[in-house]
Structure 1
Amino acid sequence: MSLFNVMDISSTGMHAESVRLNTTASNIANANTVSSSYGDTYKARHPVFSTSLNEANDKQTKGAGVRVLGIVESERPLQIEYAPHNPMADENGYIYKPNVNIVEEMADMMSASKAYETNVQVADTTKQIFRRVLQLGQSR
């Protein structure tokens, strides 16, 4: 594996963790919203990642790294609350709240932040190695 592949892996990892951070932030921002119907209620979203590793002879793949396959909605049931005096209540007096668990989202955000930071450190270390290799070539 060359140092260029390391940079590819690190940069795709940073992109993936950035998507994860943005998705988590969206979930937290919408955690306290309410709706008058099940279908209109915000549902927690989570990114789906895939690793990609090219074979040495395979020229068709883009290289090694992390791919974001998409963002899926959580299958967890929504929170239904009886609140007949709420202006958002349906005809039966129920309001619908998102299926967002703030504690899990905060843990996910901390994990994504640390993973992003790790990818930045890998990229910085790789750049330092590139510089040292170039300095070795100049000293001859």
Structure 2
Amino acid sequence: MGAFDMLRIANTSLGMHQTWLDALAHNIANANTVRRTDQDAFQGQMVIARSRPDGGVDVAGVAYTDPEGRMTHSPDHPLADENGYVRLPELDMSTQMTQLIMAQRGFQSSVQVTKNAQDTYNSALQIGRG
């Protein structure tokens, strides 16, 4: 595998991890979004990654959590229905934070591969100059 291949693969990984990080940030920011019971709950985004034949990775799509969410009894909330319920998203914050760490580490690894490939190119150029 050449340095150009490393850059291409790392670039696809950077793009996928950035999309994953964006989706997780959106989910975490809206984890406590309250809706009326006659509305759909906030739908969290789950990025679906797919490997490519050339060694890279693509975003195959985005899946969404259940719009039913979960009903929570909160009679003092201004959006509560006549029975005192509101609708919250079906998101587990510990899962979101775990995935955030994984996405950050994947992004950081891809950045490091890019830096290593650039160093390889620079070394090759220095050999040619000397």
Give the TM-score, by structure 2 length: 0.90
Tell me which residue corresponds to 1:19. Answer: 19
Instruction: Indicate the residue corresponding to 2:81 in structure 1.
Output: 90
Q: Which amino acid aligns with 2:119?
A: Q
Deviation at 1:86, TM superposition (A): 2.2
Q: C-alpha separation between the residues in 2 aligned to 1:74 and 1:85?
A: 27
Q: 2:91 aligns with which of 100, 117, 123?
A: 100
Say whether 1:119 aligns with 2:101. no
Stretches of structure 1 that go unaligned for 5 or more consecutive residues are 55-63
Q: How does 1:30-69 map to 2 (within 5 A)?
A: 30-37=30-37, 39-54=39-54, 64-69=55-60
Q: Secondary structure at the match of 1:84?
A: coil
4+ residue runs over 6 A deviation? none
The TM-score with structure 1 as length reference comes to: 0.84
Percent identity at matched positions? 28
Total equivalences in the alignment: 130
- The CA RMSD over aligned residues, in Å, is 1.8
Distance 2:37 2:73 in 1: 13
Q: Mind listing any 5+ residue stretches in structure 2 that lack a counterpart? A: none
